[in-house]
């Protein structure tokens, strides 16, 4: 089982990025996927979650209205569209799964079974 986050980079405040989480080794159809982030010196925090059938999505209050999570099960990929980025969004972003079909809110790091390598997002002018 492998997850790989990609799409990070340097962007100015107010800009946008789209992160991708590509899954291999299992069928994405059955599992909810979570996004987490970790800023320097801070604990890893939940950002978003999307259920296996895309019927439910959850967002941290800090990103609600700016970030949108989606998935393409046929492509085994989950996306995180990030708009109106702020310097406070600077972090390493990770995708993960607890191998359940439904989300438990944005999720807790300790509850995840599989993690992907992160991708760095830097918001700076």
Complete DSSP assignment for 3-55? EEEE--EEE-TT--EEEEEEEESS-GGG--EEEEEE-TTS--EEEEEE-TTSS
Res. 78 pLDDT band, cuts 50 70 90:
very high
Residue 1 in this model has a pLDDT that exceeds 90: no
Partners of 48 in the β-ladder = 35, 59
Look at residue 27 in the predicted model and tell me its pLDDT: 84
Q: What phi and psi, each to the nearest 5 degrees, are found at residue 28?
A: -65, -25
Name residue, tokens 């492509």. 75
Give the separation between CA 6 and CA 9, rounded to whole angstroms: 9
User: In the chain, pLDDT over 90 holds for what percent of residues?
Assistant: 94
Distance CA 48, CA 106 (A): 5
Question: Which two tokens mark 29?
Answer: 């159809």
Average of per-residue pLDDT across 40-60: 97
Q: Which pLDDT value is given to residue 28?
A: 86
Helix count (H) and strand count (E) of the chain? Answer: 0, 11
């Amino acid at each position: 089982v492998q997850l790989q986050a990609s799409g990070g980079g340097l962007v100015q405040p107010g800009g946008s990025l789209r992160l991708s989480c590509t899954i291999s080794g299992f069928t994405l159809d059955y599992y909810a996927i979570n996004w987490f982030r970790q800023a320097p010196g801070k604990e890893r925090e939940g950002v978003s979650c999307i259920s296996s059938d895309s019927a439910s999505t959850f967002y941290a209050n800090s990103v609600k209205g700016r970030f949108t999570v989606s998935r393409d099960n046929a492509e085994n990929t989950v996306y995180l569209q990030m708009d109106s980025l702020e310097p406070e969004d600077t972090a390493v972003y990770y995708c993960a799964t607890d191998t359940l079909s439904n989300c438990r809110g944005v999720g807790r790091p300790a509850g995840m079974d599989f993690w992907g390598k992160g991708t760095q997002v830097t918001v700076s002018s």
